[in-house]
């Protein structure tokens, strides 16, 4: 593999990883606070992509590519983020909140149910065919030396980077962020300290879902929009969250990038057939769970006896 | 109409086998496995391959299907059982996807996405059990269900059932009572896997062809739904759940409304069942089985808080 | 005779040394108390001896056999049973089922037949075996005067009874050595008195008892010998009388100024 080819795969891996990272954040934040996997997260991503697609197409009309399509795209992204945030909060309210403190399997089963409802409702409402999400800009690749970079890749990298920085600042610097961190450490104590835990949980779902919507739209530009688009992407993002150490925000970002790179280079270097590409993620998952179940940056949690 | 009803009963029986397997893992052992579809597929393919390529009879393939699925149960069980609830769910889900991936790609053995056709009908004492004439096949399936029920029921009422209950309730206390918790978790997994393998064999010889598309995540969720709906920790309930879920699945065709009711109707309903049951009736329709030492369960699903 | 002995047993979590080179010994037939301020490493010592935690270094002997690092279920089967500081009953199971689980490894094992044959036998003679387990469990409930509530769910028992049930469950494994982790915690004085009588009764059955306890009245009353831990290290060992007068123990408990 030449240097140029290496950089090409690196670039492809990074963009893929950036999207995984955005989605992984939602899993990790919810897990950090509620200690359960939001199985429906991938389907929120799908819902976000649909909303983004419809709003974008509506706003754009027949306009040719230009400044307006870019504005329309970002507007669509914002609206989709808002929609997904509300969707995420609603799901939490309806399907998870009544199960807080119940048997540990209960919220998990409920989440699987929600996931099924969402993806199949979408298939019913919007059909099982996939829809193209047009690029809001001219996606003619740019050549830097022998490396080919598309504007879409640049968009993915910059948007995911910006989102992650904002999130990191939010969690580290704001009062709400502090409340989130406190709640994830000890819900009971946080409540005693006057933190409105219900609001923190709602907020967590809102942010995670909004980020998923962004991830959904970014991935849809390359892979189209369809009802089950969230399943595999969601699972892989979850793997990314576990690799980074679930509950750990920086870990999720790192895990996402790492998984993106592993997938790209796995196919390129080790000649893993493309048909088995999806298997890489699960291989990584099982491996990491066996060797270092707390993930690369996670803390070991030991039950007190 | 009658034909449809027989079809529903046959599928109820095949799925009841899987549901009982899921129940020993989830209802008794308290572990959320999402991979019954994987074992189901393995059983089906063992029968399909051995009958079509090696010329074995259906009956001869049964023990092989049993053993191969049991072996995979052990293989997936040993490493993943160290994982806590949520991780286990994802890891097993990943396993199911890997199985389907492999079936899709291992052309020389499984014929890829095209699957395997012309599986011979089972013959017993010179009598061919023709799946198209349903009655005989139904009788065969019922015999399998009854045998499995009796074996499982007895097991659940023995030391093993109690050991699994202890593991479900509190692993640390169980260990300190001299129970080898890993051993019992693996047992539960092997049992659940092997009975799903048998169900797979029956499925293969009923449809007379197998394709990877049959063994999706949807199957695992359906089985889970059956257990949740009927009641965890109760094998009769699994059979009841299997019947209800199959009835729902074929409701549109049964009533001749399949042109009115969208195909996603059943999946959406499965999702709703999971959510609604968890919130309002987590113990399921029948609840945990009452035993000599325990009158009808007063509390929901049971398990660690 | 020394029933259990540790040699320089150490358990460190990263930089924190919870148990530091402790030499602990338990004389057969006696009631041994393990005391010390909060965070002294008492429960960690219990956990490392019973297989729930792995020692970082050091050794544990039981009945002249080294059991360091054995898994918990094996240690239980060798004859060490325990209770927990924060009661760990099988909450959704009934009282009698809890005790029956204690009998788990007592049946289905035989010296003459192989494992497989045994499994088959216990499967075929299910009723017989269950009856045997059930009767034994009832005997233990009787010992604690709890037969009447045998069909109640464990979580519905009053607190004091839950603690007793945990002891009954542990005794059902026929231990030679019983570890009790703060058995009197949360009990009122009457309940504590009753507990003291029970612990003596247990000792009279020939079971050696080791207990962690903060209730000094109980400790001084029923323990034949006491070991004091402080900051993970063994501070003192002796009869209740000796411990009461030991200046470093007084210092550890009351602080230097008051001493």
Reading the block at residue A214, the tokens are 């962004």
Task: Tell me which of C76, C99, C104 to substitute to probe the interface with B (most B C-beta atoms closer than 10 Å).
Answer: C104
Q: How many CB atoms lie within 10 A of CB C124?
A: 11
* Domains in chain C, CATH or no CATH each: 1-79+175-259 (3.40.50.300), 94-172 (no CATH)
- Does A132 contact B at CB distance below 8 Å? no
Residue B137 within any structural domain of the chain: yes
Contact B294 C173 (CB under 8 A): no
Q: Which parts of chain C are beta strand (E)?
A: 2-13, 16-22, 25-27, 31-35, 57-62, 65-66, 80-82, 177-181, 208-212, 225-230, 233-238
> In terms of residue numbers, what domain contains B196?
2-219
Sequential pLDDT tens for chain B (305 residues): 788 889 999 999 999 999 999 999 999 999 999 999 999 999 999 999 999 998 899 999 999 999 999 999 998 888 767 777 777 888 888 888 888 888 888 888 888 888 889 888 888 888 888 888 888 999 999 999 999 999 999 888 888 889 999 999 999 999 999 999 988 999 999 999 999 999 999 999 999 999 998 898 889 999 999 999 999 999 999 999 999 999 988 888 888 888 888 888 889 999 999 999 999 998 889 988 877 676 544 444 444 33
DSSP annotation of B54: S
Burial class (CB in 10 A: 0-12, 13-18, 19+), A248: buried
Task: Tell me which of A96, A101, A105, A303 to substitute to probe the interface with B (most B C-beta atoms closer than 10 Å).
Answer: A105
Contacts of A304 in chain C (CB under 8 A): 86
Strand partners, A149: A142
Nearest to B173 among C88, C100, C122 (CB): C88
Contacts of A101 in chain B (CB under 8 A): 305
Contact A103 B303 (CB under 8 A): yes
Cα–Cα distance, C45 to C17 (Å, whole number): 11
Would you state the pLDDT for residue A57?
93
Residue B22 within any structural domain of the chain: yes
Cβ(A192)–Cβ(A66) under 8 Å?
no
Calculate Rg over the CA atoms of chain C. 19
Q: Report whether pLDDT(C110) > 60.
A: no
- Does A304 contact C at CB distance below 8 Å? yes
Read off the pLDDT band of C208 (50, 70, 90).
very high
Residue B254 within any structural domain of the chain: no
Nearest to B295 among C101, C123, C151 (CB): C151
Number of domains in chain B: 1
Contact A113 B93 (CB under 8 A): no
Contact B32 A109 (CB under 8 A): yes
Contact B91 A109 (CB under 8 A): no
- Does A303 contact C at CB distance below 8 Å? no
Cα–Cα distance, C119 to B199 (Å, whole number): 25
Cα–Cα distance, A49 to A86 (Å, whole number): 15
Return the SS3 of B123. Answer: strand
Contacts of A305 in chain C (CB under 8 A): 43, 47, 52-53, 84-85
Contact B294 C51 (CB under 8 A): no
Read off the pLDDT band of A204 (50, 70, 90).
very high
Residue B299 within any structural domain of the chain: no
Residue C3: phi and psi, rounded to 5, are -90, -45
- Degrees to nearest 5, angle at CA B48 with B42 and B54: 120
Contacts of B302 in chain C (CB under 8 A): 92
Nearest to B270 among A36, A102, A116 (CB): A116
Cβ(B301)–Cβ(A106) under 8 Å?
yes
Would you state the pLDDT for residue C187?
87
Nearest to B298 among C102, C153, C169 (CB): C153
Complex confidence, ipTM: 0.89
Interface partners of chain B (CB pairs < 8 Å, 3 or more) are: A, C
| pLDDT per residue as tens digits for the range C5-30 | 999 999 998 888 999 999 999 999 99
Per this entry, what is the length of chain C? 259
| pLDDT per residue as tens digits for the range B54-66 | 889 999 999 999 9
Q: Closest approach of chain A CAs to the CA of C245, in angstroms?
A: 32
Residue B261 within any structural domain of the chain: no
pTM of the prediction? 0.87
Contacts of B26 in chain A (CB under 8 A): 105
């Amino acid at each position: 593999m030449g240097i140029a080819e290496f950089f090409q795969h690196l670039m492809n891996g990074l963009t893929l990883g950036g999207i995984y990272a955005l989605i992984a954040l939602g899993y990790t934040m919810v897990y950090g606070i509620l200690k359960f996997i939001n199985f429906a997260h991938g389907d929120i991503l799908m819902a976000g992509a649909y909303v983004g697609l419809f709003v974008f197409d509506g706003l754009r009309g027949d306009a040719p590519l230009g400044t307006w399509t870019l504005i329309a795209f970002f507007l669509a992204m914002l609206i989709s983020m808002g929609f997904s945030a509300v969707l995420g909060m609603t799901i939490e309210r309806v399907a998870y909140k009544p199960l807080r403190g119940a048997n540990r399997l209960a919220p998990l089963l409920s989440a699987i149910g929600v996931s099924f409802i969402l993806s199949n409702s979408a298939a019913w409402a919007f059909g099982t065919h996939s829809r193209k999400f047009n690029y809001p800009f001219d996606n003619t690749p740019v050549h830097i030396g022998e490396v080919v970079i598309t504007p879409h890749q640049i968009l993915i990298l910059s948007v995911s980077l910006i989102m992650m920085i904002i999130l990191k600042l939010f969690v580290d610097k704001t009062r709400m962020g502090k409340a989130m961190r406190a709640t994830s450490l000890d819900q009971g104590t946080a409540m005693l300290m006057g933190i409105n835990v219900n609001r923190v949980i709602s907020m967590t779902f809102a942010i995670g879902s909004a980020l998923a919507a962004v991830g959904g739209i970014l991935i849809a530009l390359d892979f189209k929009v369809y009802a089950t688009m969230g399943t595999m992407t969601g699972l892989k993002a979850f793997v990314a969250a576990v690799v980074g150490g679930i509950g750990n925000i920086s870990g999720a970002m790192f895990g996402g990038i790492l998984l993106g790179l592993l997938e790209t280079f796995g196919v390129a270097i080790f000649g893993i057939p493309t048909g088995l590409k999806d298997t890489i993620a699960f291989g990584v998952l099982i491996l990491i769970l066996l060797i270092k179940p707390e993930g690369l940056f996670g803390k070991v949690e030991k039950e007190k006896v | 109409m009658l034909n449809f009803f027989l079809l529903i009963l046959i599928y109820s029986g095949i799925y009841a086998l899987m549901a009982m397997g899921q129940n020993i893992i989830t209802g008794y052992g308290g572990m959320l496995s999402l991979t019954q579809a994987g074992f189901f597929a393995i059983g089906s393919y063992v029968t399909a391959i051995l009958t079509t390529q090696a010329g074995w009879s259906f009956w001869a393939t049964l023990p092989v299907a049993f053993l191969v699925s049991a072996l995979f149960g052990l293989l997936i069980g040993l490493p993943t059982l160290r994982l806590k609830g949520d991780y286990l769910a994802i890891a097993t889900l990943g396993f199911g996807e890997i199985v389907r991936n492999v079936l899709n790609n291992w052309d020389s053995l499984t014929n890829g996405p095209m699957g395997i056709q012309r599986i011979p009908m089972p013959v017993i004492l010179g009598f061919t059990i023709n799946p198209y004439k349903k009655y005989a096949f139904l009788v065969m399936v019922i015999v399998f269900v009854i045998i499995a029920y009796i074996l499982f029921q007895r097991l659940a009422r023995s030391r093993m059932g109690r050991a699994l209950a202890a593991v479900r309730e509190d692993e640390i206390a169980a260990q300190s009572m001299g129970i080898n918790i890993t051993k019992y978790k693996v047992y539960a997994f092997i049992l659940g896997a092997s009975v799903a393998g048998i169900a797979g064999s029956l499925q293969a010889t009923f449809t007379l062809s197998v394709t990877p598309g049959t063994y999706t995540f949807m199957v695992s969720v359906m089985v889970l739904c059956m257990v949740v709906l009927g009641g965890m920790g109760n094998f009769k309930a699994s059979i009841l759940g299997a019947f209800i879920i199959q009835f729902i699945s074929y409701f549109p065709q049964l009533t001749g409304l399949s042109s009115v009711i969208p195909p996603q109707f059943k999946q959406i309903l499965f999702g709703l069942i999971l959510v609604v049951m968890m919130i309002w009736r987590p113990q399921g329709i029948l609840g945990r089985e009452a035993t000599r030492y325990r009158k009808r369960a007063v509390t929901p699903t049971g398990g660690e808080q | 005779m020394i029933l259990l002995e540790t040699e320089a047993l150490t358990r460190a979590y990263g930089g924190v040394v919870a148990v530091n080179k402790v030499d602990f010994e338990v004389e057969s037939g006696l009631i041994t108390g393990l005391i010390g301020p909060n965070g002294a490493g008492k429960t960690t010592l219990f956990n490392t001896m019973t297989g729930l935690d792995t020692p970082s270094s050091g050794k544990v002997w039981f009945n002249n056999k080294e059991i360091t690092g054995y898994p918990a279920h094996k240690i239980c089967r060798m004859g060490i049973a325990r209770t927990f500081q924060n009661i760990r009953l099988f909450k959704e199971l009934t009282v009698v089922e809890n005790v029956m689980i204690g009998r788990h490894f007592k049946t289905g094992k035989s010296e003459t037949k192989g494992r497989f044959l045994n499994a088959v036998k216990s499967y075929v003679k299910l009723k017989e075996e269950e009856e045997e387990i059930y009767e034994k469990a009832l005997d233990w409930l009787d010992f604690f005067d709890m037969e009447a509530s045998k069909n109640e769910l464990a979580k519905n028992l009053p607190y004091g009874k839950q603690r007793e049930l945990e002891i009954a469950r542990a005794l059902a494994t026929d231990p030679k050595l019983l570890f009790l982790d703060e058995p009197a915690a949360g009990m009122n004085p009457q309940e504590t008195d009753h507990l003291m009588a029970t612990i003596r009764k247990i000792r009279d059955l020939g079971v050696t008892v080791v207990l962690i306890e903060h209730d000094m009245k109980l400790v001084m009353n029923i323990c034949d010998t006491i070991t004091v831990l402080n900051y993970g290290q063994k501070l003192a060992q002796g009869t209740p009388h000796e411990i009461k007068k030991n200046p470093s123990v007084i210092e550890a408990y009351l602080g230097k100024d008051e001493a």
